[in-house]
Amino acid sequence: MSSITIQDRAVAINPTRSCAPIGAMLANYGIHGAITINHGSQGCATYPRHQMARHFREPVEVATTSLTEKTTVYGGKSNLLAALKNIWERFHPTLIMVCSTCLSETIGDDIPGVIDEFLERHPEVTIPILSVKTPSYIGNHTTGFDNFLKEIAGNLPDRRKKKGETNGKINIIPGWVNPGDIRELKHMLREMGLNGLWITDYSETLDGGYYEPRPHFARGGTTVEELRSSSKSLATIALQRYVGGEAARIYERRYGVPAHVLTMPIGLANTDAFVDTLVEITDHVIPEALQVERARLLDALVDTHMFTTGLRVALYGDPDLLEGLVGLVAEMGMTPAYVLTAADTMPWAEHMVELTEELGVESEIILKGDLHELHKRIKARPVDLLIGHSKGKFIADAEGIPLLRVGFPVEDRFGYHRRSIVGYNGSTALVDEITNLVFERRASSIVSNTLVERGVEGPSYVPISLPNGNGKLV
């Protein structure tokens, strides 16, 4: 039976989380022409820019109010007013998002009040200016992303649509994903002949091309006009429960747009649920192209089951990502022995217990965990594979365990932000990569579906028994 553990150590050692403002900044990058003002010290803008640039390999522009000792004592109002004025006059953005930090929240700056005062002083400014609460002592990077989405849903769309009025689109809230994931989801909607309104879309703004001359704003992104019309969409689909799920429900409560909150579409069953929801909303048939992609994923699962069945896996990262990955891991016949997140979300943990028991696997679900805690468990009871972002490389190197890099940040590999792990195609690529990592660790070659031990040559080798029992010499 699966169990839930809450890490009670006060200090995090090698944490898996990032700060809350980085989530709001990332989501804001999915709006064309939008600029973020980080209301805090310079470091509160520099750290997120550093993390995002290393992951996406793109220049990341974030403004800061540069609070100092003086503004910490007397308040940062004057700095924020100056920042708003400078950003408007120099860049003329389509939207400004002001995110708070630990410092500005602690000293009690009234950011919405300062924004109202700025707009009163400058009636020529007609763009939306949003305030998002992102102190890092509450939640983590996914909290910041989710808070931004709730601000968008609550403040940007036009008022409730008239009866029968529609833009013919489906609001898609991908959640915290990579540009490659958004492009794969767009591909699936195109194959079904559907139009998606993406809340938000940084598939080009954070994975763009090299253009001369450089455009004033990065190409791509959902426009403010599209976001205003999102209250007229046929439905809203949130592809992550904890990053965008509540925003989808706001659309349903305020604008009468039906909400569908799904598990991240990783693996066969989760992707089927996404496609079935699209069919339910629109009555469109599933095209042959998607049926072929599904069949290819199913074939990959069948072809690799003899190599992956029975292996133990440790996973760490964001709750929504883990929920999707656990589904795929179980479909491959592997056991998600440890599932660790930095979040403190008991409803998610209880849901994961139900999910793992439904899938017929036994897991330890760890809340508020860090990689030091995970390393201790792996030392006590080893696993065959590690799945998570780059910060797990120290465990992988120390224990000789292959690491499948997914999530954020991936800093020690190039181009991972362009890859997809969602949909039928993304899941097939994951199955291939997982199996190849198993090959690389456990054998130097494959002989007639038998894994051959490393460093053993000639007819005297001892084959490794596979989960299906096929360990005889051929």
Does residue 410 register a pLDDT over 60? yes
Residues 279 and 294 in one domain: no
Residues 295 and 416 in one domain: yes
Q: Which pLDDT score is estimated for 441?
A: 80
Query: pLDDT-derived band of residue 457, with 50, 70 and 90 as boundaries?
Result: very low
Are 264 and 237 in contact, with CB atoms under 8 Å apart?
A: no
**Structural domain includes residue 108:** yes
Does residue 473 register a pLDDT over 50? no
Q: What length does the chain have? A: 474
Query: pLDDT-derived band of residue 449, with 50, 70 and 90 as boundaries?
Result: low
* Domain closes at, from 284, 312, 335: 284
pLDDT 10s digits, 100-114: 999 999 999 999 999
Q: How far apart are CA 360 and CA 310, in angstroms?
A: 12
Query: pLDDT-derived band of residue 452, with 50, 70 and 90 as boundaries?
Result: low
Q: What CATH number did the domain enclosing 349 receive?
A: 3.40.50.1980
Indicate whether this model's pTM tops 0.85. Answer: yes
pLDDT 10s digits, 20-40: 999 999 999 999 999 999 999
Query: pLDDT-derived band of residue 276, with 50, 70 and 90 as boundaries?
Result: very high
Residues 297 and 424 in one domain: yes
**Structural domain includes residue 341:** yes
Residues 318 and 438 in one domain: yes
Are 338 and 366 in contact, with CB atoms under 8 Å apart?
A: yes
**Structural domain includes residue 398:** yes
Q: Which pLDDT score is estimated for 448?
A: 56
**Structural domain includes residue 333:** yes
293 versus 216: the higher-pLDDT residue is 293
Residues 115 and 224 in one domain: no
CB count within 10 Å of CB 404 equals: 20
* Domain closes at, from 236, 264, 284: 284
Does residue 140 register a pLDDT over 80? yes
**Structural domain includes residue 472:** no
**Structural domain includes residue 165:** no
Q: Which of 252, 17, 14 is nearest to 143 (CA)?
A: 17
Does residue 323 register a pLDDT over 80? yes
Does residue 445 register a pLDDT over 70? no
Query: Which two three-digit tokens encode residue 136?
Result: 């890092």
Average pLDDT over residues 204-229: 93
Give the contacts of 40 (CB within 8 A, at least 6 positions apart): 21, 64, 65, 67, 100, 101, 102, 103, 104
pLDDT 10s digits, 422-443: 999 999 999 999 999 999 887 5
Q: Which of 160, 155, 322 is nearest to 227 (CA)?
A: 155
Residues 256 and 360 in one domain: no
Query: pLDDT-derived band of residue 388, with 50, 70 and 90 as boundaries?
Result: very high
Residues 43 and 91 in one domain: yes
Give the contacts of 65 (CB within 8 A, at least 6 positions apart): 37, 38, 39, 40, 71, 76, 79, 80, 82, 83, 104
**Structural domain includes residue 185:** yes
Q: Which pLDDT score is estimated for 453?
A: 56
Query: pLDDT-derived band of residue 461, with 50, 70 and 90 as boundaries?
Result: very low
Residues 224 and 312 in one domain: no
Give the chain's largest Cα–Cα span: 85
Q: Which pLDDT score is estimated for 472?
A: 37
* Domain closes at, from 284, 309, 337: 284
Our CA dihedral for 225, 226, 230, 235, rounded to 10 degrees, sits at: 170
Q: How far apart are CA 76 and CA 459, in angstroms?
A: 75
**Domain range for 247:** 170-284
* Mean pLDDT of the residues in the chain: 92
Q: Which pLDDT score is estimated for 455?
A: 52
Residues 295 and 222 in one domain: no
Query: pLDDT-derived band of residue 1, with 50, 70 and 90 as boundaries?
Result: confident
Domains contained in the chain, number: 3
Residues 380 and 325 in one domain: yes
**Structural domain includes residue 463:** no
Does residue 55 register a pLDDT over 50? yes
Residues 238 and 379 in one domain: no
Q: How far apart are CA 202 and CA 180, in angstroms?
A: 10
Rounded to the nearest 5°, which phi and psi values hold at 462? -110, 110
Inter-helix orientation angle 20-28/43-56, to 10°: 60
Residues 255 and 314 in one domain: no
Q: Which pLDDT score is estimated for 74?
A: 86
